[in-house]
Structure 1
């Protein structure tokens, strides 16, 4: 399709990164065991970014609940985590994130097993193949993207909030630069991620004691991106996104709570050069701005 991708250049003018750098290096949290005694629940944890996130939190001392649709893949993910961190505590919970009762059950099972919840990472998402305008595709498929990507996040945040208020915990909502980009033939995915950005803003307003981050994980060669055939090169390792999640939920950049953040931004530069303006102007949220 010849229509340009609108909004690709709408980003902070900071150094673009595609690998782990010193400020976010997970080694600092591993050596300090920053998440020892902490409990982390991750959806979409059977592969890619979700599995790497589980590994990094486990290495930093966290007890885990990992959620995905299939028990078999969860068992494989648990084995991968235990191979890296033999003493790790890993609870598996097979569920479709669209299932409201299952979301409640996953949170309850976590609290029953560990006594609390400190961090929620909502990573589960789907995307259809790039290239077909929405009026030429199945409307049920278009809406299914909203069900998984929006409702699936809402379900877990809804049931996690009461527990996170007790621990003054954190949430990472894995979104996408697609929330900001107008990408023809991907309206379903882009709209779902844009919706999540506004949802994050409301959570931050209504529950200020819970830190919530809206994070683009970079362009990672996950099965999701490969199957969708999005015309952007996959240049980022899943470890970059996972490192950013751990960094944010370790309390290193609470001023970004309620805002959009990209794993491709050098967060050292963001804090040094942009923090004051971001806070003063209430930036990195969806709003009308007149230059």
Structure 2
């Protein structure tokens, strides 16, 4: 443990799997207490158990919450403050990509509304209640703790470019997260509250693999990736860790792309070796 988040406390949504799981473990490794939020309590508790075994000097508390419900988001933030005395970081990571999400002609309104409820309103509510909590953080100069904090919101590469596989509601929701986060950053910068986004590329996580459920869909995505492979959740978690630490203290309103070069490429290289993914921390 190198202590990059020593004495700090974080709330991570979607902590039971994928990016949220890997981020929770990384944050704990760096000394942060973590409130693990997931709609699947058993999954969050499993993450808490991993942390308790690996890093017994930090607190890891599992909480069940649906980020599509404002009262549950508020309760989760309150739980973090009650458990740890402060909230320094929130990673609004939970989201959905519904398998019935399609193009403008085929996507049903209920799929659109559900996606916006979770992916956009969930981030709004998480940011809102985190801001209120961060304003009240106690100052401890000896430990380098002050009011303010870091808000990290998961956007996507599709917030910046169209998706080859139709997913209209998801794409629109992530564009909203990106623009909303920029405005939050401007409004709250003088309070010491930083707001940044991470835009992952296609990852080998259950969320995407359940959506890319045929070889044709997977190949359609891979052909656009200069690195020739899907990313790993731990690679995005490392970016979230950077935004959570004071190493990114002069960053707000930014978007950190972790996409294998996808948004920078017009064509992909051929015949290049495919690098192996990094070792998981789990």
Q: TM-score range by the shorter chain?
A: 0.7 to 0.9
Deviation at 1:106, TM superposition (A): 0.8
Following superposition of structure 1 onto structure 2, how do residues 1-291 of structure 1 map, counting pairs within 5 Å? Answer: 30-31=1-2, 33-129=3-99, 132-165=102-135, 166=137, 167-183=147-163, 185-208=166-189, 209-229=192-212, 231-233=220-222, 235-264=230-259
Asked if the contact 1:173–1:213 (Cα under 8 Å) also holds between the matched residues in 2, the reply is yes
185 and 76 in structure 1: CA distance in 2 versus 1, 3 angstrom threshold: same
141 and 254 in structure 1: CA distance in 2 versus 1, 3 angstrom threshold: same
The CA distance in 1 between the partners of 2:101 and 2:62, in whole Å, is: 36
Asked if the contact 1:37–1:62 (Cα under 8 Å) also holds between the matched residues in 2, the reply is yes
187 and 77 in structure 1: CA distance in 2 versus 1, 3 angstrom threshold: same
Deviation at 1:158, TM superposition (A): 0.7
Asked if the contact 2:182–2:253 (Cα under 8 Å) also holds between the matched residues in 1, the reply is yes
Gaps of 5+ in 2: 138-146, 223-228, 262-282
Asked if the contact 1:126–1:149 (Cα under 8 Å) also holds between the matched residues in 2, the reply is yes
Asked if the contact 2:102–2:168 (Cα under 8 Å) also holds between the matched residues in 1, the reply is no
The CA distance in 1 between the partners of 2:51 and 2:10, in whole Å, is: 14
Bigger RCO (CA 8 Å, 6+ sep): 1
Deviation at 1:259, TM superposition (A): 2.0
Q: 1:82-120: per-residue Cα shift (whole Å, max 9, x none)? A: 232233311111011011111111111111111100000
Deviation at 1:228, TM superposition (A): 1.1
The CA distance in 1 between the partners of 2:236 and 2:13, in whole Å, is: 15
Deviation at 1:48, TM superposition (A): 0.8
Structure 1 residue matching 2:221: 3-state secondary structure: coil
Considering only aligned residues, what root-mean-square deviation do their CA atoms show, in Å?
Answer: 1.8
Asked if the contact 2:16–2:38 (Cα under 8 Å) also holds between the matched residues in 1, the reply is yes
Gaps of 5+ in 1: 1-29, 267-291
Q: 1:222-241: per-residue Cα shift (whole Å, max 9, x none)? A: 11100111542352221111
Structure 1 residue matching 2:246: 3-state secondary structure: coil
Deviation at 1:142, TM superposition (A): 1.6
Structure 2 residue matching 1:66: 3-state secondary structure: strand
Taking structure 1 as the reference length, the TM-score comes to 0.76
Q: Which moved more, 1:133-142 or 1:101-110?
A: 133-142
Asked if the contact 1:124–1:149 (Cα under 8 Å) also holds between the matched residues in 2, the reply is yes
The CA distance in 2 between the partners of 1:99 and 1:143, in whole Å, is: 13
Deviation at 1:131, TM superposition (A): 7.8
